[in-house]
Amino acid sequence: MPTAILFDWDNTLIDGWAAIEAGLNAAFAAFGKPAWTREQVLANVRKSLRDSFPEHFGAEWERARDIFYEAVHATHLEVIRPLPATIAMLDALAHLPLGVVSNKQGPLLRKEAAHLGWATRFGALVGAGDAVADKPSGAPLHLALQRMGLSAGPHVWYVGDTSIDMQAARAAGCRAVLLGDAAHDGGIAACAPDMAFPDGVQLADRLHALDK
């Protein structure tokens, strides 16, 4: 049994891809780059902006960042939706300390959680830029656990949907738990999780059985 669970945000608890896609394509358009389809966004968005934008935009990455965030802020609260199993899973796990560690910018993450009425569900909401490094570093997981008054170890699960999430879990010394089939990231085997669940309801059911 875990003593605490940390979650990734996008594509683990919520669907906010419409805003991310709009922001990326606004930045790409400003630099004369081709737009990405939703499938390309899902397949390529892993790293935080401060790690990925220099790769795409070089020395002008900060200007691209500003264009991206202007587009995201215009729509993100209108388009975010909980994934189908999320609320049932969080309700079932409410007896455990829960937190979020995302590569979405920290203020954006916390604004979205507040908009959904979820801020009180989590003991910590850590996003990109909050820690000294972003995922796949273990630093943001350690920061979240510190804010929750906890320490890392295999008794803490980190639940995400990509290989970067699994890498971050291991870097922090936590158990790496995959949610979904990771079809957008090479599949379950490529992500190499410690455990995998098709959806949040089955994860909660497994914990309920362990608790018994």
Alpha-carbon radius of gyration of the chain: 17
Q: What is the mean pLDDT of the chain?
A: 94
State the catalytic residues.
8
Cβ neighbours of residue 94 under 8 Å, at least 6 residues apart?
121
Q: How do residues 178-196 score in pLDDT, each as one tens digit?
A: 999 999 889 999 999 999 9
Q: How do residues 29-86 score in pLDDT, each as one tens digit?
A: 999 999 999 889 988 888 888 899 999 999 999 999 999 999 999 999 999 999 999 9
Tell me: pLDDT of 137 over 80.
Answer: yes
pTM > 0.85: yes
If one counts every other C-beta atom within 10 angstroms of the C-beta of residue 149, the result is 10
Please tell me the distance from the alpha carbon of residue 193 to that of residue 159, in angstroms, as a whole number: 10
Q: Is 181 exposed, middle or buried (0-12, 13-18, 19+ CB in 10 A)?
A: middle
